[in-house]
Amino acid sequence: MSFPYALTLVADRTATTLTHEVIDIACHMLKGGAPVVLSPGEAVDIPCPGPVPGAPTAATLRTIFARHKVDALLVKTRGRRKAVLVADMDSTIIANETLDDIAAHLGVGEEVRLITEASMNGEIDFESALRARVALLEGKPAAVLHEVLGEIVIREDAATLVRTMKAHRARTALVSGGFTFFTDHVAGICGFDENHGNVLEIRDGILTGRLAADVLGPESKLHHLENIAEERGVKLGATLTTGDGANDLPMLQAAGLGIAYHGKPIVREAVSRQVNFAGLRSLLFAQGYPASDFVS
């Protein structure tokens, strides 16, 4: 018997193990098919019926398995493997918040951090927050960008996520509210097909405190998603997006599979599919890829 949905359970393999006890709890709750191991001790699929009255909701499942520090993603099995990936950069593909790091090097870290936090939580609109933060960099040496570049930490399995999807003919894009100085570098290492970001204005080696182009914000991220899907010849239902901040919400909500990755509170409230414990491999497991198919 085939089922229209699957519950994907994923544990953080660096910190814990997905136990038989946890898998049994899910099987009992869902009354679906036999679990399919995607990665021993890390990830399983449990085929199950679609959401019906009286059945556990995605939010209920997420809450129950959070007690075990396990991510639970309820996904449709039809069209599960996506043809487009659009990913945020800061605090998603990389561990850094690059603008905060720039500011810290230049002695304005706390001022910028507070604005960043308010923006990512949706308390200040993205464009106003970005322009206010960039203005604090006025007159500072642009050489700081190279220092921050050297400190970037690309998340484990970011390249695996991108390369595995590309191996299955997906189009991949890094679309960031951060800066092209960093997206060019990160996209190259991970293998993204394209990257987009904001452009800092620099004159004579000095940051002017302004942007050199229009702001790439929430609606721009959605626009890039729509364009990339059209170019790839697929509908939005065939796309996967991931990000952590309020500026990612439009693209997360529009995609066929939008996954909040260690999201801010406002994002976790708005997006039902969440990865809060495990790493970027979860985005492949959510598409039904077993670890044996990963391209690393």
Answer yes or no: are the C-beta atoms of 285 and 10 closer than 8 Å: yes
Q: Indicate if 88 belongs to the active site.
A: yes
Answer yes or no: are the C-beta atoms of 201 and 129 closer than 8 Å: no
Active-site residue (options: 71, 88, 101, 157): 88
| The residue type at 10 | V
Q: Indicate if 125 belongs to the active site.
A: no
Do strands 171-179 and 257-261 pair parallel, antiparallel, or not at all (unpaired)?
Answer: unpaired
Active-site residue (options: 90, 101, 157, 248): 90
CA distances to 65, 252, 258, 259, 272 from 268, rounded to whole Å, are 15, 11, 12, 10, 7
- Nearest CA to 9 among 276, 246, 240, 208? 276
Answer yes or no: are the C-beta atoms of 263 and 244 closer than 8 Å: yes
Measure the CA angle with vertex 114, ends 109 and 118; round to 5°. Answer: 145
Residues marked as catalytic? 88, 90
